[in-house]
């Protein structure tokens, strides 16, 4: 729905002309939002492709395990696709989709929206222009806030592999791994290792006085930072997660919300007593074919959620935090007081999600379909695979306690 909202502001560039949605309530709400006729509303991809071709392209926002299965028939039926990340839930799936896109000569752009955030786009430009020379080492961080961690990866959709389909690394950090490979340009990764586990959100770590559901039997709910009542009801955080169809305009009453948290709502569960099995922290170490290295640290349940990057090159370095909206470029200089020069690059960062990248991605997708030259940020399928390979093989390395080689495509 976020990507589709581009049509509201740019009707001359993009029009939403149909919807595929198995849930009847969501299907109706979406059809109403975009004024869709009954013949443009479908319950499944099979129904869509059985009908006359409806559009030039499709936006695929299904859950991770459905990405490839629902995109393959779209490609065969002649649709180009804007596909939510991760591309798929295994390396084999991703390569299967890559081959299909080539076979049917279709365009597939992956929603690595951070490439389009002004913060990362400007850093990539500086690297491409040679401002810091050749990259020698890179460190990135993703600090997932305690409320985001609890909502998405302990109580919610991606809390366990069985239901979510993806590891936490692939669901949350395939953005970051993609940024690392993007910054390196055409230099491919060749080795990866990884360490991490589920340390915090386990039943044996539950504090004394905690219960099974926050608003039912918890004696410490009033002071707990993970209180579902405080997080979703009082502070009104993560509403589209906690309440069905809020992103489509439906909002339950406060009484209905409280009853939901008390009974069946998974977001009402104690964070130490859920069915989560994904890691809550993980480190990935990568070597590239030119001998340069990179590392990525994902840490869950931090006080502040933010992403950082530090790139060291042969002529200087770049470092910054996405949420601060600025970065610094430093270069060696023996004549200066500090023995280096520093340039502060401040950016007009939008309030949009992902540092302003979401709708810039859609604009580039539209531009690509028009036959215009893809931007430096282009997230075409062929340019997005190495980051995914790093993620899948990092998880294998972590589980098998070994360094894993990354094959060339």
Question: What does the alpha-carbon distance between residue 6 and residue 1 come to, in Å, rounded to a whole number?
Answer: 9
Q: Is the dihedral of CA 236, 242, 246, 252 positive or negative?
A: negative
Q: Is the pLDDT of residue 316 over 90?
A: yes
CA-wise closest residue to 391 among 242, 173, 219: 173
Q: What is the mean pLDDT of residues 169-173?
A: 96
What are the C-alpha distances in Å from 116 to residues 254, 357, 360, 362?
Answer: 37, 4, 6, 10
Q: What is the mean pLDDT of residues 322-343?
A: 95
Instruction: Provide the percentage of residues in the chain whose pLDDT is more than 70.
Output: 98
**What pTM does this model have?**
0.94
Do the domains 116-201+276-352+380-405 and 6-113 match in fold? Answer: no
Question: What does the alpha-carbon distance between residue 180 and residue 392 come to, in Å, rounded to a whole number?
Answer: 15
Q: Is the pLDDT of residue 225 over 70?
A: yes
Q: Is the dihedral of CA 24, 28, 31, 36 positive or negative?
A: positive
The pLDDT value recorded for residue 352 is 55
Q: What is the mean pLDDT of residues 188-196?
A: 98
Contacts of 394 (CB under 8 A, 6+ apart): 169, 177, 192, 193, 194, 282, 284, 404
Q: Band of the pLDDT at 223, cuts 50, 70, 90?
A: very high
Contacts of 395 (CB under 8 A, 6+ apart): 167, 169, 170, 194
- Segment holding 216, helix H or strand E: helix 214-217
Q: Quote the CATH superfamily of domain 116-201+276-352+380-405.
A: Dihydrodipicolinate Reductase; domain 2 (3.30.360.10)
Question: What does the alpha-carbon distance between residue 132 and residue 129 come to, in Å, rounded to a whole number?
Answer: 8
Write down the domain spans for the chain. 6-113, 116-201+276-352+380-405, 203-268
Q: What angle do CA 193, 197, 243 make, to 5 degrees?
A: 120
Question: What does the alpha-carbon distance between residue 329 and residue 126 come to, in Å, rounded to a whole number?
Answer: 9
- Segment holding 162, helix H or strand E: helix 161-164
Q: Say if residues 29 and 245 touch (Cβ distance below 8 Å).
A: yes
Q: What is the mean pLDDT of residues 284-313?
A: 98
Place of tokens 């949420």: 323
Tens digits of residue pLDDT in 68-89: 999 999 999 999 999 999 999 9
Q: Quote the CATH superfamily of domain 6-113.
A: NAD(P)-binding Rossmann-like Domain (3.40.50.720)
When the pLDDT of each residue in the chain is averaged and rounded to a whole number, the result is 95
Instruction: Provide the percentage of residues in the chain whose pLDDT is more than 90.
Output: 94
Residue scoring higher pLDDT (10 or 244): 10
Q: Band of the pLDDT at 318, cuts 50, 70, 90?
A: very high
DSSP letters spanning 281-300: EEEEEEEETTS-EEEEEEEE
Q: What is the mean pLDDT of residues 126-138?
A: 98
Cβ burial of 124 (10 Å; 0-12, 13-18, 19+) is: middle
- Segment holding 57, helix H or strand E: strand 57-60
Q: Is the pLDDT of residue 339 over 80?
A: yes
The pLDDT value recorded for residue 348 is 72
Tens digits of residue pLDDT in 210-222: 999 999 999 999 9
Q: Say if residues 347 and 119 touch (Cβ distance below 8 Å).
A: yes
Question: What does the alpha-carbon distance between residue 283 and residue 195 come to, in Å, rounded to a whole number?
Answer: 5
The pLDDT value recorded for residue 355 is 62
Tens digits of residue pLDDT in 349-402: 655 556 678 899 999 999 999 999 989 999 999 999 999 999 999 999 999 999
Supply 40's token pair.
Answer: 């443009």
Tens digits of residue pLDDT in 233-278: 999 999 999 998 888 888 899 999 999 999 999 999 999 999 999 9
What are the C-alpha distances in Å from 58 to residues 3, 14, 106, 119?
Answer: 11, 11, 12, 28
């Amino acid at each position: 729905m976020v990507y589709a909202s581009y049509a509201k502001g740019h009707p001359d560039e993009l029009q939403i002309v149909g919807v595929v949605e198995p849930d009847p309530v969501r299907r109706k709400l979406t059809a109403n939002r975009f004024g869709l006729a009954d013949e443009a509303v479908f319950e499944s991809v099979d129904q869509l492709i059985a009908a006359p071709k409806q559009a030039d392209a499709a936006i695929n926002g299904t859950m991770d395990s459905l990405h490839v299965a629902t995109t393959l028939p779209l490609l065969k039926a002649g649709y180009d696709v804007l596909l939510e990340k991760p591309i798929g839930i295994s390396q084999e799936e991703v390569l299967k989709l890559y081959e299909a896109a080539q076979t049917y000569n279709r365009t597939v752009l992956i929603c690595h929206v951070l490439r389009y955030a002004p913060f990362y786009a400007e850093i990539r430009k500086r690297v491409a222009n040679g401002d810091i020379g050749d990259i020698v080492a890179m460190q990135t961080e993703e600090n997932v806030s305690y409320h985001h961690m609890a909502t998405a990866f302990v109580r919610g959709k991606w809390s366990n592999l069985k239901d979510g389909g993806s590891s936490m690394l692939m669901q949350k950090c395939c953005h970051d791994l993609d940024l690392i490979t993007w910054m390196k340009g055409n230099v491919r990764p060749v080795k990866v290792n990884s360490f991490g586990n589920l340390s915090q959100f386990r039943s044996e770590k539950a504090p004394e006085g905690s219960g099974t559901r926050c608003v039912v039997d918890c004696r410490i709910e009033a002071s707990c930072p993970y209180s579902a009542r405080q997080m979703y009801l009082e502070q009104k955080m993560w509403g589209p997660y906690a309440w069905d169809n809020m992103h489509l305009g439906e909002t339950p009453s406060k009484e209905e919300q409280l009853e939901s948290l008390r009974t069946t709502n998974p977001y009402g569960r104690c964070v130490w007593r859920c069915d989560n099995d994904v890691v809550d922290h993980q480190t990935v170490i990568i070597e590239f074919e030119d001998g340069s290295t990179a590392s990525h640290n994902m840490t869950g349940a931090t006080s502040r959620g933010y992403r950082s990057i530090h790139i060291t090159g042969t002529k200087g370095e770049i470092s910054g935090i996405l949420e601060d909206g600025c970065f610094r470029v430093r270069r060696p200089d023996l004549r200066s007081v500090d023995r280096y020069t520093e340039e502060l690059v401040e950016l007009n960062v939008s309030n949009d999600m992902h540092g302003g990248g979401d709708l810039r991605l859609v604009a580039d997708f539209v531009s690509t379909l028009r036959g215009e030259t893809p931007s430096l940020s282009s997230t075409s399928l062929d340019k997005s695979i190495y980051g995914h390979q790093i993620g899948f093989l990092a998880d294998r390395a972590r589980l098998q306690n070994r360094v894993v080689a990354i094959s060339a495509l």
